[in-house]
Amino acid sequence: EKLNRQREEAKKDKSKEPWWLRCPKCGGKLHEKKIVDVVVDECPDCKGIYLDAGELELLVKGAGSSGFLSKVSGSLFGKR
């Protein structure tokens, strides 16, 4: 049963490969990286960082209400 579950997980991961986790800038394979308890996608080739919906706000909350991330978030989401 455990082996079947692992095979199913591998099959799901394999089906995502052609389009999932590719850098939109250079086409490199993205790797997951944990930043302030948020898993973001990072391209080792061009050093781009890509966020899914809501992740920027989570990063801002984790970094506190002052600083660069807060200003960026406020600018993007209309919060000041």
pLDDT in tens, 9-58: 777 666 555 556 789 999 999 999 888 788 889 999 999 999 999 888 88
- Four-point Cα dihedral 24, 31, 3, 18, nearest 10: 20
14 vs 73: CA distance, rounded Å: 34
Of 24 and 67, the structure prediction assigns the larger pLDDT to: 24
Question: Where are the chain's structural domains?
Answer: 22-77
